[in-house]
Amino acid sequence: MAIRARYGSSYLNDPDYIRRACRFTEDVFFPEMEQRGLYIRRDDRGELVTSHDRKAGNVWAPNQGFSGTMIMELLRKEVLARRVPLLHETMVTALLVRDGTVCGVTALDIVAGEFFVIRAKAVIIATGPGNYLATRSTATREQCGNGFAMAYRAGADMQDLEMQWFHASDIAAPKSWMRLHLYPNPMPVTDQSIWLHGADRRMFFHLGMNPKVKQPYYLQLRYLYDEVRKGNADWHGGFYGGYTHIEPEIMENYSYQTQFFKHLGFDITKDLIPCAITWHMTFGGIRTDNRTMATTLEGLYAPGGCGSHGVGSITYVSYDGTLAADQACERARHIAMPALPEDGVQREQERVQRRLQQRAAQGLLPAQVKKRVRAVMTDRMGYVKSEARMAAALDELAEIRDRLLPAMGLGSTSRNWNYDWSEALDAEDMLDVCELTIRMSMQRKESRGYFFREDYPYIDNRQWLKHTVARRAASGVEFEFTPAAPIFRPENEIDDFLTAEY
Amino acid sequence: MDAASRISARIFRFDPASDAEPRYEAVEVPHQPHMRVLDVLDYAVEECGVGLGYRYFCGVKRCGMCGVNVNGKPVLACWEEATPDMVIEPLGNMPVIRDLTVDRSAFERATIDLEPRLVRKAPYASFPEPYTHRDVAATFPLMNCIECYVCSSTCPAVSGPAGGPRTAGGRRDFVGPGTLVQIAKVALHPKDELDRSAMLEQASIDHCMSCYRCEQVCPVGIPIVSHAIMPLRGVAAKGPAGIARFPLEFAENVRTHVDIHSGSLFVKAGGWLRALASLPMLLGMLVRGKTRMRARPSARARREVEALFEAAEP
Amino acid sequence: MRFAYYPGCTAKGSTREADLATKWLARRVGIDLVELVDAGCCGSCEIKAVNPTLHFMLNARILTMAADQDLEILTICDTCQANLLHTSRRMQEESDAKRSLLERLKTAGVAYRSTPRVRHVASILMDELGETELHPYVVRPLAGLRVAPFACCHSFRGPGASPGSRELLAELVTLSGATVVPVRIDSDCCGFHILMTNETLAARASAKFLARCVEMQADCIVTTSPLCHTALDIFQKKAEGVAGRPFRVPVLHLEQLLALAFGAQPDVIGLGRHMVSTVSVARHPRMAARNTDPGLVSYGEPR
C-alpha cells in the first residue's frame, strides 16, 4: 500500500479507496469474471502464470497485452444478451441540470442525425481518463474530453486535471499505432522487462534499476528528460525500446505485442523499436467521493478514470462501476423523475444544430481544427511545462476558438452517419478541457509524479499535498484546494523532482 | 518505398441519403515510414479536407471496427500496409451506411441471438478454478478474435447485404464465420454445458463450404474453419431437426463402403424427392457413364476401415 | 519415376475421365503409376467435423499404404491432396497429438512407420520435369485457347495448402500454349461441399464464377480437383437455373488440358464424358492440326 501511495500516485491517492478496490478485485472481480468464462492464463500444470514476483500478481487473460479486450468483450456480451437497450453511435452532448441536480442528458444519434433527450433520475458518466488532446495520445478516436467538458459545463467540480500522465515508450511509427505500448512491466514468468535506449543506442532505463517501483512510467519520463537534455533523444522520437536482451522464447510465448513488431519487419532479438511519448491518462477528473462515486452534482456519478480518485486497473474501475450502479439504483428507487430545465434543452439543441453547417470557403473540417488543438497541446503542454509555455498555449487556443471555430464546417450537411458533426462538438469540448487543464496546471506551483514544471522543479510536500479543484463560475474558473488524505506521509518536505526517491 | 514516394488512393464515396450513385475520390498522400491504410484515410481527412465517413477507434487491431476492402482484399485499415496504388472500398456482404461505413448489425444480432455467453450447469466454486492450459486448448486459439467480421464480409456462403433475414420455419441464412467464432469461444470452453446443436442448425452452419476463405483473410490469424466451424458442425450434426446431419451420413457411408458411394449418399442426404427433382441431371450422368461404379473395395479393406472407426472413438 | 497413385473417390466414379487423362499423361512422360488399391476415402470435409482423430487416421492409413511400398504419393484431387498433406504434417510433428494418433493406429492394426511425400500431379510434373523438359511434349500447342484456371480453395488455403499452387496452375496452362484468363477471384468457391445440403447456395456460388467466365470470354475452365469439376460441370445446369441465363462453359481437368497439348485424342481422355459439351474445345482450330510426330500413339482405354 505504501508503495502504491508513493509510486502510484505521489501521495495524492486515498489508500482507503485502494484497500476497498483491492478487496473487490479479490473477492468479486476475479471470481465473477472467471465464472463468466474469462480465462486467466494457466500453465500446463494448472498454475496461474504471473511475473516472477507473485505478490505483485500480474496475471493475463489470455495474453499479455490483450486482457482488457477479453474482459470488455465478456461484459459487453452480457449486456447485449440481456437485451439492455443500447444506443450505438450516439454521442451524449450535454448533461441536463436543474437546481444543481442532474435530470437527464441530450444526445445526438449520428447514424440518423437525430437529436434527442433522455430523462433520468441518475446519470453515470464513465468516459474514462484518457483523452486524445495531443497529437500523439493513448486515448481512442472518440475520447475527446467530452465527459470532462460536459461535467464542467454542467457545474460539477473538477479535480487534479493537471496530473497528466505520459507514456514514455509507445511506438513512434506508424502514427495510427501511437497507442501501441511497449510495456515496461516484466514479461510473464520472468523479471525481465524492456530497456529504453537513447539515440546512441545505449540503454538508459529499465525497471530493474528501481526494483521497488511497480509502476515505472514516471521514472521512465525523468530518465528520458535527462536524455533529451543531453541531446540523446527527442520527445517525439529519436530513442528506442528494446527486447534484445530477453530470451526470444519468452517474447514468443506470451506477448500479444510481438506480432506488431514482426508485422513491420522488426526482428526484436536484434532490432530496437523507435519510440515517442504519448499523452496518456489524467490522474484527476470529475471530482468524486470515492466511497460512492458521487460527484458534486446531485444525481451524477463518475466511476472509473473519469472520476478524480486516480487511475487504477480494470479491476478498480469495475469496483467503481459496481459502486456507482448500486448508488444510482438506490437513488432511482427513492425519488421521482425530476423535471427538465426550462430552456436547457432548447439551448443545447441550438448549439448542436448550429454545428450542422457546411464549411465556409476558407474554413476547416472539425477534424482539421481538432488537429490544430492537439498540435498546440503537443508543443506547449508536453511533459516539460513552464508558465511561459502554458500562457502561450492559452493564447493559441484562444486564437483557434476565435478564428477557426466560427469558420469550421462540415463536408456535408447530410444527417446520414455524419461523423463530422460529432467532431464539431468534439472541437468545442476539447477547447474547454484543454483550457481548463492548462489553467489548473498553472495553479500548481510544484512538480509531482507526472506533473513536471521546469520553473518549479521540486516536490513541495509542505504546500502541495493538496488537490486542485476547479469549477465554472461567472468570472470564469473558480479554484479551491483541498488537502490530500495520505495515510503514508512522504519523508521529505521538499524534494528535488528529478532525483527524488519517488 | 522511400520518403519521397507518394501514395495514390481512390476512396469510395457514397451517401445513400443524398447521392444518386457512388463515386471515387482521389487523394495523394506522402508516404510515411510503416504507413497503414488508416494513416492514408486520416490524412485524407486531416490534410486534404475530405469529409470521409469511416470507422476506427483503437488503431491497434483491438476494436475490430476499421475493416475495408483495399484493391479487392478485405483487411483492417490499421493493420494493412499502405501501398502506392490503392482503391479503398467498404467491406462486402454488408449494406453501406455511408462511404466506408457499413452496417454490421445483421452479424452482430446473430451473434447475440445464438447465446454467446458461457452457460454453466455445474455450480462455480471459487477462484481460481482447477484447470490447466491444456484444458482450454480447444477454445484458446479463438480468444484473440476481435469481431471485425472481415471474414463474414467475404464469405461466399453469406447471402450478401441482406445478411440474415429469417427464412420460413425460423431458420436463418448462414450466419457467417465471424458469428460462429464467437459461439465457438464459449461452446468449446471446458465449462460450457449448453446443448447448442439446435441453435447451430438454425444458424445454417451446414451451409459452410469449407473454402477457408475466412481463415485466409482473418487479420488475427484465427484458424476459423479448423478450430471453430468444424467442431461446431460436429455439434450441429446431432441436432434435433437433422438439418446438419450430412457429416454423420458421410462418415456412415465411408464406414460401409470404404470409398464414397455417392448414389446412396445423395439419396440419404437429400431424400428421394430431391433425387427425383435431379432426374434430368442423373440421366445425363448415366448416359455419359458417370454413374458406373468401379469395383467394390475388398472385405479386408472394409475390416481395416471398421477398425479405424472403432479405434478413433473418443 | 514411380508414384503411388491415389485418385480419390470421385475420379473412380463420376469423374473417371480425370483418371483416364492422368494415366495417359503419366504414360506419355514416363511416370509409372502404382494405384493404391482399397485406399478408401480421405474423409473430404465431413469426417473432420465428426471426429478429427478419425479423419487423421483414415489419411494416415493411406499414407502407410504408400510408405510400405517406398513410394511417394501422386494425387489428382486438391481436397485429397490437402487432407493427406495436412495429415503428413501432423504425423511429422513432435507432439502429443501425433503420439496419440500413433497409439490409436496401432490399436487399429496400422503400423505407421514413415511419412511419404504427397503431391498433386501438377506439382510433380513441374518439380520433377519442369518447363524445359515438359516443353518438348507439347506437340499441339493450344494457341488461342482462352482458359480460366480454377484453383481449388484447398490447394491454396487451409491447413493442407501447398504454397504456390495457383501460380503453378497458371504456368501449366501457359505451358500448354493456351492463354490464361484470370477470372477466379479469392472469394470464389465452387460450392462443391454443400451440393448435397444446399444445392441452390452452391449453384449461386458457382454461378458467380461462371458468369465472369462468360464476361471475360473464356473458352473453357480448367480445374485441378474433380470436386470443383463436379460442381462446375455436372451442376452447371443448376447454376444456369439460379442465374437465369445460359453459361455453356466447358470444364476440363488439368490432366485433360495437358494431354490435349501433348497430342492425345479427345475421346481417349474422356472429353465425351462431360455434362457440358467440350466439343468447342475439341473443335478448336489447333485441335485439327495434323500432328506429324511418328512417335505419338493414340492410347486406348486402360483396363
Contact flag A368-B146 (C-beta cutoff 8 Å): no
Whether residue B128 is preceded by a cis peptide bond, meaning omega within 30 degrees of 0, is: yes
Residues of B in contact with A412 (CB under 8 A): 15, 18, 51
Residue of B nearest to C96 (CA): B134
Rounded to 5 degrees, φ, ψ at C126 are: -70, -40
Contact flag A77-B132 (C-beta cutoff 8 Å): no
Say which of B17, B34, B58 has its CB closest to residue A174: B34
| Model ipTM over 0.85 | yes
Residue of C nearest to B137 (CA): C97
- Check: CB of residue A126 under 8 Å from CB of residue A405: no
Say which of B209, B226, B301 has its CB closest to residue C191: B209
If phi over 0 gives left and psi between -120 and 50 gives alpha, with beta otherwise, what is residue C192?
alpha
B167 touches chain C (CB under 8 A): no
Contact flag B156-C187 (C-beta cutoff 8 Å): yes
- Higher pLDDT residue, A209 or A238? A238
- Higher pLDDT residue, B265 or A397? A397
A256 touches chain B (CB under 8 A): yes
CA distance B169 to B171: 6
Residues of C in contact with B285 (CB under 8 A): 14, 234, 275
Return the pLDDT at C302.
Answer: 35
Contact flag B73-C46 (C-beta cutoff 8 Å): no
Q: What's the Cα-to-Cα distance from B132 to each of A47, A256, B141, B190, rounded to whole Å?
A: 7, 20, 15, 11
Contact flag A69-B62 (C-beta cutoff 8 Å): yes
Helix (H) or strand (E) holding A471: strand A466-473
Chains A+C touching (3+ CB pairs under 8 Å): no
CA distance A43 to A2: 32
Return the pLDDT at A481.
Answer: 96
Return the pLDDT at B241.
Answer: 93
Residues of B in contact with A236 (CB under 8 A): none
C282 touches chain B (CB under 8 A): no
Contact flag A416-B16 (C-beta cutoff 8 Å): yes
The whole-number average pLDDT for the span C138-152 is 96
Of B117, B233, B247, B234, nearest in space to B183 by CA: B117
Q: What's the Cα-to-Cα distance from A428 to each of A201, A432, B43, C115, C140, rounded to whole Å?
A: 42, 6, 22, 68, 75
CA distance B181 to A92: 33
Using pLDDT thresholds of 50, 70 and 90, give the confidence band for residue B294: low
Contact flag B226-C159 (C-beta cutoff 8 Å): yes
CA distance A339 to chain B (A): 35
B275 touches chain C (CB under 8 A): no
Query: DSSP strand E in A162-221: where?
Result: 164-171, 195-197, 203-206
Residues of A in contact with B15 (CB under 8 A): 412, 414, 416-417
Residues of B in contact with C47 (CB under 8 A): 247, 250-251, 254
CA distance A136 to A171: 10
C274 touches chain B (CB under 8 A): yes
Residues β-bridged to residue A195: A206, A242
Contact flag B156-C48 (C-beta cutoff 8 Å): no
Using pLDDT thresholds of 50, 70 and 90, give the confidence band for residue A446: very high
Return the pLDDT at B162.
Answer: 47
Say which of A42, A174, A417 has its CB closest to residue B35: A174
Residue of B nearest to C17 (CA): B290
The whole-number average pLDDT for the span A326-342 is 96
- Chains touching B by CB (3 or more pairs below 8 Å): A, C
Residue of C nearest to B295 (CA): C12
Using pLDDT thresholds of 50, 70 and 90, give the confidence band for residue A59: confident
CA distance A126 to A122: 13
Say which of B209, B298, B307 has its CB closest to residue C109: B307
Averaged confidence pLDDT in chain C: 93
The whole-number average pLDDT for the span C200-219 is 97
Q: Which residues contact A180 (CB under 8 A, 6 or more apart)?
A: A170, A171, A257, A260, B60
Q: How many CB pairs under 8 A join A and B?
A: 154
Residues of C in contact with B275 (CB under 8 A): none
Return the pLDDT at A489.
Answer: 76
- pLDDT tens column, C249-302: 999 999 999 999 999 999 999 999 999 999 999 877 665 554 544 444 443 333
Contact flag B32-A418 (C-beta cutoff 8 Å): no
Residue of B nearest to A31 (CA): B127
Buried b or exposed e, range B238-275, using 16+ CB within 10 angstroms: bbeeebbbbbbbbbbbbbebbbbbbeebbebbbeeeeb
CA distance C220 to chain B (A): 19
CATH number among 3.40.630.10, 3.40.50.620, 3.40.50.970, 3.40.50.11810, domain C139-292: 3.40.50.11810
- The set of cell numbers assigned to A384 is 516539460
Say which of C49, C161, C191 has its CB closest to residue B234: C49
Q: What is the pTM of this model?
A: 0.94
Give the distance from CA C63 to its chain's centroid: 18
Of C208, C197, C181, nearest in space to B93 by CA: C208
B312 touches chain C (CB under 8 A): yes
A119 touches chain B (CB under 8 A): no
Picking from A131-135, B274-278, B303-307, C108-112, which range would have the lowest pLDDT averaged per residue?
Answer: B274-278
**By percentage, how much of chain B surpasses pLDDT 90?**
81
Q: What's the Cα-to-Cα distance from B244 to each of B207, B226, B239, B269, rounded to whole Å?
A: 9, 17, 7, 10
Say which of B204, B226, B258 has its CB closest to residue C38: B258
Using pLDDT thresholds of 50, 70 and 90, give the confidence band for residue A486: low
Contact flag B308-C108 (C-beta cutoff 8 Å): yes
Using pLDDT thresholds of 50, 70 and 90, give the confidence band for residue A309: confident
A123 touches chain B (CB under 8 A): no
Q: What's the Cα-to-Cα distance from A393 to each of A147, A397, C19, rounded to whole Å?
A: 22, 6, 79
Biggest CA–CA distance in chain B, Å, is 75
Say whether pLDDT at B170 is over 90: no
CA distance A191 to chain B (A): 22
CA distance A486 to C252: 82
C241 touches chain B (CB under 8 A): no
Contact flag A42-B132 (C-beta cutoff 8 Å): yes
Using pLDDT thresholds of 50, 70 and 90, give the confidence band for residue B164: very low
Return the pLDDT at B32.
Answer: 94
C264 half-sphere exposure, CB direction, 13 A CA radius: 28
> Which of B212, B213, B273, B286 would you mutate first to test chain C, the one with the most C CBs within 10 A?
B212
C186 touches chain B (CB under 8 A): yes
The whole-number average pLDDT for the span A275-300 is 96
Of B172, B10, B151, B31, nearest in space to B93 by CA: B151
- Chains touching A by CB (3 or more pairs below 8 Å): B
Contact flag B288-C275 (C-beta cutoff 8 Å): yes
The full DSSP string for chain C is -EEEEE--SGGGTTTHHHHHHHHHHHHHHT-EEEE-TT-----TTTHHHH-HHHHHHHHHHHHHHHHTTT--EEES-HHHHHHHHHHHHHHTS-SHHHHHHHHHHHHTT--------EEEHHHHIIIIIHHHHHGGG-SS--TT-EEEEE--HHHHSSTT--TTHHHHHHHHHHHTTPEE-----TT----GGGTTT-HHHHHHHHHHHHHHHHHTT-SEEEES-HHHHIIIIITHHHHHHHHTS-----EEEHHHHHHHHTT--GGGGTGGG-SS--HHHHTSHHHHSPP--TT--------
- pLDDT tens column, C45-70: 999 999 999 999 999 999 999 999 99
CA distance C135 to chain B (A): 33
Residues of B in contact with A81 (CB under 8 A): 112, 115-117
* CATH code, residues A169-277: 3.90.700
Say whether pLDDT at A420 is over 90: yes
Residues of A in contact with B47 (CB under 8 A): 368
Contact flag B128-A70 (C-beta cutoff 8 Å): no
CA distance A227 to B129: 47
Fold classification of A344-460 (topology level): Methane Monooxygenase Hydroxylase; Chain G, domain 1 (1.20.58)
* CATH code, residues C2-120: 1.20.1050.140
Q: Write down all domains in chain B, each with its CATH number in brackets.
A: 6-101 (3.10.20.30), 104-236 (1.10.1060.10), 246-312 (no CATH)
Averaged confidence pLDDT in chain B: 92
B276 touches chain C (CB under 8 A): no
Residues β-bridged to residue A471: A478
Within A174-313, where are the H helices?
A: 217-229, 248-254, 258-263
Domain locations in chain C? 2-120, 139-292
Q: CB pairs under 8 A, 24+ apart, for A330-337?
A: A331/A121, A331/A122, A331/A299, A332/A121, A332/A122, A335/A121, A336/A121, A337/A103, A337/A119, A337/A121
> Which of C15, C17, C41, C185 would you mutate first to test chain B, the one with the most B CBs within 10 A?
C41
B294 touches chain C (CB under 8 A): yes
Picking from A49-63, A146-160, A352-366, C286-300, which range would have the lowest pLDDT averaged per residue?
Answer: C286-300
